[in-house]
Amino acid sequence: MTTPLVEMDGDEMTRILWKMIKDELLLPYIDLKTEYYDLGLEYRNETNDQVTIDSAEATKKHGVAVKCATITPNAARMTEYNLKEMWKSPNGTIRAALDGTVFRAPILIKGIVPYVNNWSKPITIARHAYGDVYKNVEIKVPGAGKAELVFIGADGTEIRETIHEFKGSGILQGIHNTDESITSFAKACFNYALDTKQDLWFATKDTISKKYDHNFKDIFQGIYDAQYKDKFERAGIEYFYTLIDDAVARVIRSEGGFIWACKNYDGDVMSDMVATAYGDLSMMTSVLVSPSGVYEYEAAHGTVQRHYYKYLKGEETSTNSIATIFAWTGALRKRGELDGIRELQEFADKLEKACIKTVEDGKMTKSLALISTCENPVILNSLEFIRAIRETYDSL
C-alpha cells in the first residue's frame, strides 16, 4: 500500500470483531497501512468528540476510510459510559463533513433466498440524507384560522401562499431542502452509478408536488444532461426517472442490479424494506460517497450490543462479521483502484469470495443458519467463523 486507509475503530461487539478481522484476515496477508482513529465512545468522550471530526478531515485528505460500527449515545449510554455530553451520531458528523450520500447494498449468497424470488442481483439504495420531514417545523393548530407559507427574501421581498383556512383544529408542517444539497446528492448518485456500472433509478411524486418534488427531478435531469449523459452512454448504463409508485412496482418485478436513489423519507422506509426482503441486516454493506469522490465504507448494522454483553459475561457469541469484512474489502479495493495497486484489488476480491464460499459450504453464524436453505449448516462462534473464512481463503 502507498496511501494509508483512514481506519475508524468503534464500539462493543463490532470492536471485538474488528480486531479479529485484522489479526486473522488482513495483517497476515497484506502490508496494511492505516491512519488510526479511535471512534470508540470512551475516546470520543475523552476528546470531546474531536476525534470524530479529525477522522472526517483525514478522510477528505486521503480519500478512503473504513469504519467500525459506533454507539450513538442516548440517555442510557450517558450513565453507562459516564458521558460529559450526549455526543452526536458519528455517522451524522462524518456525513455532514463529507456532504455525502449513503449507498446500501445486500451481499447475495446461495442458500439465503430473498423474499422476492426474482431478485437475483443486489438492489443498492441511495438515500438523500438532508432535509424534508427530517428538518421539519410543525404546528398543532388549536382552532379556526388561516395558515400561510411565507418567504422573506434577504432584500425584504415577500412570497406568500395560503396553505389552508382552518375551520377547526388540525396540523401543519413546514419542510425544506436546498438546491445545493440536492445537487450533491445527484452527483454522488451519478458518480456511484458510473463507478459500479449500474443503472440509476430516481423517483419522486412530482405529479402531485409540482414545485417541491419537481425541483428534485429537474436538478437530476439538468446535471445528467450537462455532465453525465455521454459518460453513461459510454459505460452502457442508463439514468431512469419515474414516479415513486411506479418505481415500487418496477422494483418488485425487477431482477435487481441497479441503484435506486430515494428522497430522504422514501430512502428511510425503502432501505428497511429492501434489507428485510433480502434476508438479513448482518449482510448489508454501506458506503458513504461524497460528491467530490471520497469514500467511507462500513457495515449497515450497529454494534450488536446484545452479543457484546454476552461476550463480556464470557458467554459464546455467534456474530456475523461478513458486512464488516466487506467494509474492509470495499475500502482496500478502492484504495487499490486509486493508487493503481492491482494486488490489493485482487486480495479484496479473493477475501470476499472466501466469505461467500464459507457460507455456501455450510459454515456460518447463527442468524444466517436460521434463514439458510442449506441442509445441515455448521454453526460457528464469532472467532471460529473468521478462522473458517481464513481456511477457505488459503484453499482458494
Closer to ligand NAP by Cβ: residue 72 or 183? 72
Compute φ and ψ for 235, nearest 5 degrees: -80, -10
Question: Rounded CA gap, 249 and 196, in Å?
Answer: 24
Rounded least distance, CB 317 to ligand NAP, Å:
9
Determine which residue in the list 198, 320, 329, 392 makes contact with ligand NAP, applying CB under 6 A: 320
User: Cα–Cα distance between 257 and 240 in angstroms, integer?
Assistant: 14
Nearest residue to 190 (alpha-carbon basis) of 103, 299, 297: 103
Contact 205, 213 (CB under 8 A): yes
The item of Mg ion, ligand NAP, none sharing an interface with residue 69, based on CB under 5 to 8 Å by kind, is: ligand NAP
The entry of ligand NAP, Mg ion, none near residue 367 (CB within 5 to 8 angstroms by kind) is ligand NAP
Taking CB atoms within 8 Å and a gap of at least 24, the contacts of 278-281 are 278/106, 278/108, 278/112, 278/114, 278/115, 278/119, 278/122, 278/123, 279/106, 279/112, 279/113, 279/114, 279/115, 279/371, 280/112, 280/320, 280/367, 280/368, 280/371
Return the residue of 319, 329, 358, 392 that touches ligand NAP, per CB under 6 A: 319
Of 3 and 72, CB closest to ligand NAP:
72
* Residues 242/201, Cβ–Cβ less than 8 Å: yes
Among 61, 135, 164, 306, binds ligand NAP (CB under 6 A): 306
Q: Does 305 bind ligand NAP (CB under 6 A)?
A: yes
Q: Which of 8, 51, 109, 304 binds ligand NAP (CB under 6 A)?
A: 304
* 3-state secondary structure (DSSP) of residue 359: helix
Least spacing, CB of residue 132 vs ligand NAP, in Å: 21
Give phi and psi for 27, each to the nearest 5. -60, -35
Q: How far is the CB of 11 from ligand NAP (least distance, A)?
A: 7
Place of cell 470512551: 42
Please give the residue whose beta carbon sits closest to ligand NAP in the complex.
302
Residue of 367, 377, 380, 383 interacting with ligand NAP (CB under 6 A): 367
The minimum distance between CB 95 and ligand NAP, in angstroms, equals: 11
Q: Which residues bind Mg ion (CB under 5 A)?
A: 268
Q: Segment 244-283, which members bind ligand NAP (CB under 6 A)?
A: 281-282
Pick between residue 7 and residue 206 the one whose CB is nearest to ligand NAP: 7
Among ligand NAP, Mg ion, none, residue 305 binds (CB under 5-8 Å by kind): ligand NAP
Annotate 38-87 with DSSP letters as a single string: E-SHHHHHHTTTHHHHHHHHHHHHHSEEEE-------HHHHHHTT-SS-P
User: Please, which of residues 44-103 interact with ligand NAP by CB under 6 A?
Assistant: 69-72, 91
Residues lying near ligand NAP in the complex (CB under 6 A) are found at 69-72, 91, 281-282, 298, 301-306, 319-320, 367
